[in-house]
Structures are given as C-alpha cells and as structure tokens.
Amino acid sequence: MQRTLLQILKKATDYLARQQVASARLDAEVLLANILNVERIQLYVQFDRPMSQDELDRYKRDLIRRARGVPVAYITGVREFMSLPLKVGPGVLIPRPDTEVLVEQAIRRLEACRGQGRPQPRVIDAGTGSGAIACAIAHYAPWCQVLATDLSADALRYASENVRTLGLEDRVTLVCGDLVQAVPPGWTGATMVVSNPPYIASSAVPSLQKEIRHEPAAALDGGPDGLHYYRRLAQEAPAVLAPGGWLLLEVGDGQADQVRSILASHGWSDLEVMPDYAGTPRVVVARMKGGEGVD
C-alpha cells in the first residue's frame, strides 16, 4: 500500500528532527514541494495523494543531503529575496532576509534622486555574490543603473544567470574584481555604494553551524576581528563616489558602533544605524562630505 504525502512528510520530519535539523518540518515541506514542483502551500490540499517511486527516491536523497548539513537553498537551487527567485548553489553566499533592509534603505535614498532632469543614479554593489542586492535594486528602482563586482567566478556565474532570468541586462553590469577596486573609470562619480561584505571573525568561521560552513569561506571571513572589509570600504569608496554620495553597509550582530566609528575616522558624515526586522542594528549609512550631495 502506497503511503500518502502526509504520511511521508511526517516520517521525513521525524528523520530530520533526529538528525538535529532545527527547522525539520519546514525543511521537509520545502524539499517535498520542490520534488513535486508545487508551491509549499499546495501540499496541504494534496496530502492524500501518493508519491511515485521516482519522486520518493529523489526525496530521500534530498533528505539525506539536508541531514548532512547541506543548506536547503543549495538542494533546491533557488532562494527568494525580496520576492525575486534567485538561483544559488555551492560557491555562492545564500541571500538572507536581513539583507533586504539594506536594499530598502538604499531605495529610500535613491527615490530622492529620480526625475526632474537629474542624471540617472548609478549604484555600485561591492561584492555582489548571487547578485541579490544588485538585482533587487535594479528591479525595484528601475530608474537606476547598477554595477556589481565580485572576485569569485562561481558567484558571478550565478549573478549573471539571475540578471538574465529577471530581465535586468539593461540595468545591471557585472564586473570581476575586488570590491570597488574593480569599478571601471566610466563609473566613478557614482551615487551610492552598497555592500554586504564578509563580517565574521576568522577564528569564528570553523565553529559556525554546519549549514553555514557549506557556503564559501571567502564570503564569510571578515579578517581577525571581522571588520577588515569595512576599513577597506571606508577608505576606498570615496574614489568612486560623487561628492555627497552614499555608502550603505550591512553589519553583523554587535558591529554597528564599531563600523560607525571606522567611517567617522575616515571623514564620513551623516552617519545613521538602521535596525533589521528583529530590531537588531543591521545597516550603517554614511555620506561623503563635499558638494551639495546627490539628492
């Protein structure tokens, strides 16, 4: 007798829970929906249907991978970010909901730069990874042009596919290189630099959750104190920004005050700290001195 989806899902949840997967039920549902090629909510109206042997075999393989710590997004190949489906996989950082706050803060400031004879705003996404930030800004602020940089060829392959799939080729340019050092001469004088740089202290990387350790270390390791890339961006971003240009940075837990101090020591002004949805300081905003600004 074939088991129903509900029976299979209960057994899968129990298996993941025994393997100490924290979100066992959610992960079991997401993986099952992916195998059946349906939205997760649709599982609830199909609980009485059986699974084919091929579907069941593929589901079991995915459950074993998840139990071994492989992130769900790497198994499904997709992660949603600001309602945009992004391709992800080994070799690229998985976008997090916290980063949506960075994009929202960027768009809020870019709103003041649109229309009324103003030049088209240009945004530099330094260290783009999957292209999540660049694609979201280009999608929700279509009056802007975005240049996205990354040193990783693997990451840029995913970013390129996401730009193409979302139809953003006319608004997002990808460049291989190191943060803002990769910005070509024609892009200097930009309106804004945004970045979610690596911010975990090197000594803490080996003790991260096993799911996170599957992600590329270069996208996680922020140097001895986790602040290496903030120091670099504080020093290097002015070379590519217009006077009055913005710098928006995502920061790790407990880093906001330190990053704000780093920026202040390099002469940045209008410093602000913005919380994420849980109230944790998550985005540090700064502005270049000089000129009348870009807004």
Token pair listed for 23? 């979100």
Please state, in angstroms and rounded to a whole number, the distance separating the CA atoms of residues 63 and 35: 11
Is there a single domain that holds both residue 96 and residue 212? yes
| Beta carbons of 121 and 295 less than 8 angstroms apart | no
In a domain, 170, yes or no: yes
Confidence of residue 157 (pLDDT cuts 50, 70, 90): very high
Is there a single domain that holds both residue 61 and residue 203? no
Q: Show the domain range for 260.
A: 89-287
Check pLDDT > 70 for residue 47: yes
Look at residue 295 in the predicted model and tell me its pLDDT.
53
Q: Strand pairing partners for 275?
A: 281
Is there a single domain that holds both residue 101 and residue 56? no
What is the mean pLDDT of the segment spanning 158-166?
98
Is there a single domain that holds both residue 27 and residue 120? no
Is there a single domain that holds both residue 10 and residue 140? no
Is there a single domain that holds both residue 133 and residue 243? yes
In a domain, 292, yes or no: no
Check pLDDT > 80 for residue 115: no
Token pair listed for 52? 């084919």
Is there a single domain that holds both residue 61 and residue 162? no
C-alpha distances in Å from residue 166, one per residue of 143, 202, 216, 257: 16, 35, 24, 36
In a domain, 73, yes or no: no
Is there a single domain that holds both residue 161 and residue 262? yes
Q: Name the percent of the chain lying above pLDDT 90.
A: 84
Token pair listed for 150? 């990354």
Upper half-sphere CA count for residue 147 (Cβ side, 13 Å): 25
Is there a single domain that holds both residue 140 and residue 179? yes
Look at residue 50 in the predicted model and tell me its pLDDT.
84
Check pLDDT > 70 for residue 292: no
In a domain, 84, yes or no: no
In a domain, 25, yes or no: yes
In a domain, 79, yes or no: no
Task: Give residue-wise pLDDT tens across range 210-227.
Answer: 889 999 999 999 999 999
Of the candidate ranges 111-120, 158-167, 234-243, the one whose mean pLDDT is the lowest: 111-120
Tally of domains within the chain: 2
Check pLDDT > 80 for residue 1: no
CA quadruple 220, 221, 222, 224: dihedral sign = positive
Confidence of residue 289 (pLDDT cuts 50, 70, 90): confident
CATH number at residue 208: 3.40.50.150
Look at residue 21 in the predicted model and tell me its pLDDT.
93
What is the mean pLDDT of the segment spanning 156-170?
97
In a domain, 74, yes or no: no
Is there a single domain that holds both residue 98 and residue 231? yes
Is there a single domain that holds both residue 23 and residue 98? no
The alpha carbons of the chain give a radius of gyration, in whole angstroms, of 21
Look at residue 49 in the predicted model and tell me its pLDDT.
84
| Beta carbons of 181 and 236 less than 8 angstroms apart | yes
Is there a single domain that holds both residue 45 and residue 115? no
Higher pLDDT, 197 or 186: 197
